[in-house]
Amino acid sequence: MIAMTDHNLAQATLLIAALRAQIADMTPKLARVEREATCGHTSRDRALRREATLLRRDVSQAQFLIARLHHRFPQAATEPTACDNDHVRPAAAV
């Protein structure tokens, strides 16, 4: 087992902050794409739905990584942001 050092904790804290910043960047993009996407069958609609699916996946993955880092480094707990809440809708069946 690897001993946790201050360096590991510092790196985990920085990674959590970077992941939160990434979520904060992706969430408004996802909201915009979901607003613009319609139920139509044009290539633009399909592209927007695909982009929304990818953004949802990326947000979900970042949230998962943050949760795992908090589990591994509980002392790395920093102030949660609104982005850490599960307000992003799960991927809908397309």
Integer-rounded Cα Rg, in Å, for the chain is 16
Q: What is the pLDDT of residues 25-59, one digit of tens each?
A: 999 999 999 988 877 788 988 999 999 999 999 99
Which strand (E) or helix (H) includes residue 66? helix 43-72
What is the distance in angstroms between the CA of the first residue and the CA of the last residue of the chain? 44
**pTM beyond 0.75:** no
Q: Closest Cα to residue 67, out of 15, 30, 28?
A: 15
